[in-house]
Structure formats: structure tokens, C-alpha cells
Amino acid sequence: MKFFVDTAEISEIRELAETGLLDGVTTNPTLIAKSGRNIAEVIAEICEIVSGPVSAEVAATDYKQMLMEAAVLRRIAKNVTIKVPLTPDGLRACYALSREGIMVNVTLCFSAAQALLAAKAGASFISPFVGRLDDIGQNGMDLIADIVQIYANYPAIKTEVLVASIRNPIHLIEAAKMGADVATIPPAVIKQLYHHPLTDKGLAAFLADWGKTGQSIV
Ligand code: G3P
């Protein structure tokens, strides 16, 4: 399973890139606003740190404007993935861009029918938002199971399931059990993945016992 980080904060991306865990980055207009940076500058900086796909989202809602924005964003770096919303214009832009060999991430997916449309439009990634479905009392992970199952029925579909709006490690583990291709994870949730109280307790005991030996390895 590929791990993307869902942030536009350079310091967080740099720190994660050094762990070797990071396969890509996703941003969206909210994350760019949060960074307080110019989109072109921040995406360029991210692409210098991470060689995998870096999603940059168009802000336009009409097809022609989306393509104009995509042209600007693509020029930033080779690994820029154009992110478009799951709307009729967004899917039309996805079809046009993917035919030119450009990676497209279709975002704001909340149904299996939408995911099927994105695959037919040639999306490289479909981004179903699990946390936001949970927020309205629906089970976000059921959507992932449906999309993974549907895509698996059609080997011609090359679209990768990119689980988005992840709020906790359980979302990630469930997604991995279902065979989702990618998870885009907020930095705080990536940090949570490392921790287990028994690891901390076990390490403390080992260190205490080691201290009693009076030895040093180097
Ligand atoms: O990048 C899209 C998605 O991951 C947003 O997550 O937490 O704002 O629903 P969230």
C-alpha cells in the first residue's frame, strides 16, 4: 500500500520524506490556504522533496478554465498530479488530461457510481472521502469496499483507489485489509501509527535491564 501525506506543510513533508515512508503528497485548496503560501511556490517546493505523485487541485469549476489551470500546474514539475472535483466538468477535464498522459486524481468522491465514472474518464486515482461520510452517519469504509470490489471486476480499470479523509489508524488498517492502493494520511495520524503502549513499556524494561549489565555496545 502506498502512503501519501495529506498536507501542504513543507516541514512535515520533509520530516516524513526522511523516514522513507512517503510515496506521494496530496493537497487541496483548504490545505493550501492553511499553509498561507502561494500554490505554485508550495507545490514546486514539495516536488523537490518528493519524487512520487504530488496532487495539486484546480480551483475552477468549468471545463475550459480547469484545463487552463491544469496547464499552469503541470508546468511546475513532472510529478504534479492534477486534482479535479467529481463533477461533469471535472470528469470531462479528467478524460482530456488523461488522454494526454497526465495523471489525474478525481476528488470529492462519495459514491461507488461516481468512482465508476472516474475510472471510465481515465483517472489515475479516485479519492473517496471516508471521514466525511462517517461524519454524516454513513460508513465510509463500506464505500472503499464497494469501489475495490467493482474495480477488481474489470481488469481494464487502472484507476488506483486513494483513500482520503482518513481520521485515524483504524481507517488505514481497514483500507489496507480491503486492498486499497493508496492512503493519503494526515501527518498527525501517521505519527499515531508508530505508537503502542506495550512497545513503550517493553522498551523501558529492556533499557532498565541493560543499565544493570554495565555494558555499552560502542
Ligand atoms: O485531501 C482530501 C481529504 O483527505 C480531506 O480530508 O479531513 O478534510 O475530510 P478531511
Q: What CATH number does the domain containing 47 carry?
A: 3.20.20.70
Question: Which ligand 1 atom is at minimum distance from the Cα of 167?
Answer: 7
Q: Whose CA is nearest to atom 5 of ligand 1?
A: 165
- Those residues of the chain that have pLDDT short of 70 are none
Q: Whose CA is nearest to atom 4 of ligand 1?
A: 165
Domain membership flag for residue 218: no
Q: Whose CA is nearest to atom 6 of ligand 1?
A: 165
> Containing domain of residue 115, as a range?
2-213
The pLDDT of residue 149: 98
Q: Is 28 in the pocket of ligand 1 (CB under 6 A)?
A: yes
Compute the residue count for the chain: 218
The pLDDT of residue 120: 98
Ligand 1 geometric centre to CA of 214 (Å): 50
| Cα–Cα distance measured from residue 26 to residue 186, given in angstroms and rounded to the nearest whole number | 10
The pLDDT of residue 119: 98
Domain membership flag for residue 151: yes
The pLDDT of residue 71: 98
Tell me the sheet residues that pair with 164.
Answer: 129
Split into its structural domains, the chain has a count of 1
The pLDDT of residue 137: 98
CA 159 to chain centre: 14
Q: Is 141 in the pocket of ligand 1 (CB under 6 A)?
A: no
pTM of the model: 0.96
